[in-house]
């Protein structure tokens, strides 16, 4: 009977040794891969995203349409849109409609307020040959490089404004 107990104890010791093993080698392989990926991303990001935005803009595609607009908030909560060149009202953004554009304008309004600039100062809408629509705050330099990235419905008011400027 003593030998049986020794066999049971030695079997338990063997199982404890198995449990005490360190992490599996696969863990270290995955960890090394993640570290390598992080180093690769860090080393190539400067080449992918140029620091000099002016140089990047010079490499951009040709402009197809451009319109400088100003936005004026009305008493009823709507936003009147004016063509800066003609000082004519070209559109009205109604409350609850064109929400993406209105939220973007609200963000830019806050940025302008921090900078001590009036909300009504001009913005620029640009459409380039590759189809991108760009929205730029001419005062703060804030720029949304590709409105299409936010979906077809969200780009519609920008296109409507650009096309409205082309009407006779």
Q: Mean pLDDT throughout 63-86?
A: 92
In this predicted model, what pLDDT tens digit does every residue of 28-61 receive, in sequence order? 888 888 887 777 676 665 444 444 454 455 456 7
Q: Mean pLDDT throughout 65-79?
A: 91
Query: Which has the higher per-residue pLDDT, 36 or 121?
Result: 121
DSSP H or E segment with residue 92: strand 88-93
Average pLDDT value over all residues in the chain:
79
CA–CA separation, 22 and 18 (whole Å): 9
Handedness of CA 97, 103, 106, 112 (dihedral sign): negative
CA–CA separation, 47 and 14 (whole Å): 55
What is the pLDDT, as a whole number, of residue 83? Answer: 94
Q: Mean pLDDT throughout 126-137?
A: 90
Quick one: DSSP state of residue 72? Answer: E
Residue 148 pLDDT exceeds 90: no
Tokens of 127: 């459409």
């Amino acid at each position: 009977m003593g030998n049986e107990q020794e066999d049971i104890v030695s079997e338990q010791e063997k199982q404890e040794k198995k449990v005490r093993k360190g992490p599996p080698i696969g863990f270290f392989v995955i960890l090394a891969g993640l570290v390598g990926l992080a180093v690769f991303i860090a080393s190539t990001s400067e080449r992918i995203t140029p620091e000099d935005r002016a140089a990047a803009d010079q490499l951009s595609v040709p402009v197809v349409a451009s319109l400088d607009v100003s936005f004026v908030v009305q008493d009823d909560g709507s936003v009147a849109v004016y063509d800066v060149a003609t000082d004519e009202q070209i559109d009205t953004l109604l409350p609850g409609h064109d929400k993406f554009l209105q939220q973007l304008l609200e963000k830019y309004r806050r940025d302008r307020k921090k900078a001590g600039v009036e909300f009504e100062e001009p913005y620029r809408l640009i459409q380039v040959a590759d189809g991108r629509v760009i929205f730029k705050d001419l005062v703060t330099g804030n720029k949304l490089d590709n409105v299409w990235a936010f979906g077809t419905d969200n780009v519609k008011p920008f296109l409507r404004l650009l096309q409205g400027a082309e009407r006779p």
